[in-house]
Amino acid sequence: MVMARHWYSLSPVVDGHPLLGEPGFWAAHLADLCEGFSAEAFGVEPWEAGDMLERLHDKSAWPVFSVPLTGGFAIVVHYNSGEEFTTTDYFLTHPDWFGALALASDDQDRMGPGLCWPELAALLEAPEDAAGVTDPHARLLLLLPVLGDAAAPPEALAAVVAALVAAGAPEDCEPLARCLLEGHPMWGAEAWRFDADERSWICNGDHSPRRTPLGDHLPAQQRAALERCLTPG
């Protein structure tokens, strides 16, 4: 589950954060999760979503986003546009780590889901004075492709609806929100359980990197910090 990100330093990575406020971004970023829904479901025109999709898939400029977490952790979202297709990779990082933990990737090997709802809900509020994606609604929508939880509670639906409306979707966007909570089509929504001994959520999904405790290879101090980040209280 440990993956090095150093090869991105040799790639045309660009800061993706300015794209978050542009029309069509969420319709493009979440396109794979909502087949059958038009761009209008997000409150934008089809051409706006199409233009944004082209920018996200630009081979000469790979957008990257950072979702800062407590304790110096961050989830980094990389768009990766190769010669044949574009994939999106989601890494959990820390400045003290040599590598990174891969949470999800929609490449041909498929990896996900990487988060359950209790974890994602705990990550929506950004630390004070953090840099990167700090708005709770944007954090939720950006990380939705990593989520895949068959037992997501009613408050998850309410949170996704609120985030979509804040991003410009119509008020009656509950059908879209329900579809988004069904998970990425590559791995869907899976069953999770909390292992009290390991202090980690475990996923039953065949393609999930979370079938074993997250960060179980880390030194005890780093593992404890990771647990505090993802399972507060």
Q: Check if the beta carbon of residue 169 is closer than 8 Å to that of residue 182.
A: no
At 113 the pLDDT is: 98
pLDDT tens-place string over residues 20-30: 999 999 999 99
Instruction: Find the largest Cα–Cα distance for the chain.
Output: 51
At 2 the pLDDT is: 42
Pairing of strands 62-68, 200-203: unpaired
At 5 the pLDDT is: 52
* Secondary-structure breakdown of the chain: helix, strand, coil percentages, each rounded to the nearest 5: 35, 20, 40
At 162 the pLDDT is: 98
pLDDT beneath 70: ranges in the chain? 1-10, 83, 232-233
C-alpha 201/C-alpha 17 separation (Å) is 30
At 39 the pLDDT is: 97
At 1 the pLDDT is: 42
| Sequential DSSP letters for 173-188 | -HHHHHHHTT--TTT-
The two three-digit tokens of residue 65, written as one number: 């986003």
How would you class 221 by CB atoms within 10 Å of its CB: exposed for 0-12, middle for 13-18, buried for 19 or more? exposed
C-alpha 134/C-alpha 116 separation (Å) is 20
Backbone angles phi, psi at 92, to 5 degrees: -100, 125
At 231 the pLDDT is: 76
C-alpha 142/C-alpha 63 separation (Å) is 13
At 6 the pLDDT is: 53
Pairing of strands 100-105, 2-3: antiparallel
